[in-house]
A and B are shown apart, each in its own frame.
Chain A
Amino acid sequence: MNARQVDNGIPAIDKQKFITLTLTNSCNLNCDYCYEHSKNSRGMSFELAKNILSTELNEKNQYEHVNIEFFGGEPFVEFDLMRKIVFFLRGGKFGKSFTISITTNGTLVHKKIQEWLIENRDFVSCGLSWDGTYEMQNINRCNSADLVDLDFFAKYYPDRPIKMTISPKTIRTLSDGVIFAHTKGFQVFCNLAYGPNWNDEKFGDVLEQELSKLIDFYLNNPEIPPCSMLFDQFSQIVWGQDVKTIRSWCAAGVQSCAYDIDGNAYPCQFFMPLSSSKSDFNKEQPVFTREIPVEILEKKCQTCVIKTACPTCYGYNYFNNGNMHARDEGICKLTKKILLARSYFFSKLWDLNRLRLDENEEQALLQSIMIIQKNL
């Protein structure tokens, strides 16, 4: 079976596996909130990459399609290796279809790399991590704004949202950053950085003000797809009351795995020594399941009305709080504000008849909105 073109003909989600291939432990930046604390100059060998991919793409299991993510460090530090791997995949015959995805800090994507990406655009999807305005990017990402060719990504990957991480140093200009990205032609994923201390009450007030500005912006500009912070799914809340299990927030350890440069497999990249700086993970490996019993959540989460729509990072929780289900207190408070803002925003969109929903979706949405409104 040959590779499928990017985003075309991909089978149902439960038939897909997600693998992360760490090409290098090296990065040319040192971002303010980076969770990779053990970066070094080591990289993966081509032979090892071939072996991993051949195994994943030919192994007989429930998956028909493999999403391959090139990861780092900054994956383009190992551009020659990346080229070899893609050439190998293009020419190979495998038992499964696959797609290739890269997310980059963009600073190395010029000239030869741009030409290569354009040549392989039918085969490789490339997304950019960019943190808002030029000033926000410089604050979070080592004064790298002038090193990134934003227009290249906007032109060649218009459907791939940029990944915008908000830190305590940039939250005051969250709305400016998102709107700037839209003016450059991007859709926006934005989320709060895990790791920084968000406990100061002032962050809640600032976040409310910024989300309020964004809601006004989107209501006045209905042609622009809203950022993920305001537009992500939350209708599952209606089914999340009085349940015994909740769906795992991500596919880590269940439907995805991350390979480090030595070929060791982990539930996701957060569990790799590159990130965790710990070597004892395998001795006390937490159990990953698709359905998580509510009784093993923290007490505060067991009764929380938004527990099925609450984003969390099991790797971060595990290494920072000693329990993969122990959510960060500061993020918890801000998440509730985000969900409240989202419920308000969706109610406005619904009232303006800007949502196309069938009756089932509409009922799930409206009931979820009211659960949030009455409880948060």
Chain B
Amino acid sequence: MFKLDTNLASKVEKKIKNIAIVKRDIIVMCGCDSGCEGCNGCTGCATYGYYRDGWHDLYIERIINERKAS
């Protein structure tokens, strides 16, 4: 399960370029809970880790904009 079918795998492979990728400085923010998935977090800790990488922001911002537009 979760293996890409041949068509999609080929599409991804074709899109990959032989260029240098700038390394992003990914920092996990809290020592215990939310973003890091590292512990059980029954009573938990800061939520800020969730946004540590910016990817969520990008996607959520797009969703919010689409909601507003509709």
Interface size on A, as a range, is 35 or more
**Please, how many angstroms separate the alpha-carbon atoms of A208 and B1 in the complex?**
7
A-chain residues with CB within 8 Å of residue B22 when the two chains form the complex? 360
Is A364 in contact with B21, judged by CB distance below 8 angstroms?
yes
Number of A-B contacts (CB under 8 A): 222
Q: Is A249 an interface residue (CB 8 A)?
A: yes
| Residues from chain B with Cβ under 8 Å of A257 in the complex | 31
Taking CB atoms, residues of chain A closer than 8 Å to B29 are 13, 16, 18, 251, 255
Asked if residues B37 and A268 are in contact (CB atoms below 8 Å), the reply is no
Stretch among A171-179, A227-235, A297-305 lining the B interface:
A227-235
- Contact residue range for chain B? 35 or more
Interface assignment of A260: CB less than 8 Å from any CB of chain B:
no
Contact call B26/A103, Cβ cutoff below 8 A: no
Knowing A363-B19, A373-B3 are in contact, say whether A249-B38 is a contact too (CB < 8 A).
yes
- A97 surroundings in chain B (CB, below 8 A): none
Instruction: Please tell me which one of the listed residues B38, B40, B43 contacts residue A71 in the complex, with CB atoms under 8 A apart.
Output: B43
Say whether B30 contacts A223, CB under 8 Å: no
* Known contacts A18-B29, A18-B31, A222-B63; A231/B56 CB under 8 A: yes
Tell me the nearest residue of chain A to B3, going by C-beta: A373
* Bound Cα distance A223, B58 (Å): 13
Contacts of A355 in B (CB 8 A): 58-59
Cα distance A122–B5 in the bound complex, in angstroms: 48
In the complex, the chain B residue whose C-beta lies closest to that of A316 is B39
| Secondary structure dominating the interface of A | mixed
Assess the A233–B38 pair: CB atoms within 8 A. Answer: no
Interface centre among B33, B40, B53, B58 (most CB of A within 10 A): B40
A39 CB → nearest B CB, Å: 11
Residues of A within 8 A of B (CB): 10, 13-14, 16, 18, 20, 27, 29, 31, 33-36, 67, 69, 71-75, 101, 103-105, 125, 127, 129, 160-161, 163, 165, 189, 191-195, 208, 211-212, 222-225, 228-229, 231-233, 235-236, 238-239, 247-253, 255-258, 267-270, 311-316, 337, 340-341, 343-344, 347-348, 350-351, 354-357, 360-364, 366-367, 369-370, 373
17 pairs, CB–CB < 8 Å, chain A vs chain B: A18-B45, A34-B40, A67-B48, A127-B47, A129-B43, A192-B37, A211-B2, A212-B2, A224-B63, A228-B50, A238-B21, A247-B27, A250-B28, A251-B31, A315-B39, A347-B8, A370-B13
Give the interface of B toward A (CB within 8 A): 1-4, 8-9, 11-13, 15-17, 19, 21-24, 26-48, 50, 52-53, 55-56, 58-63, 66-67
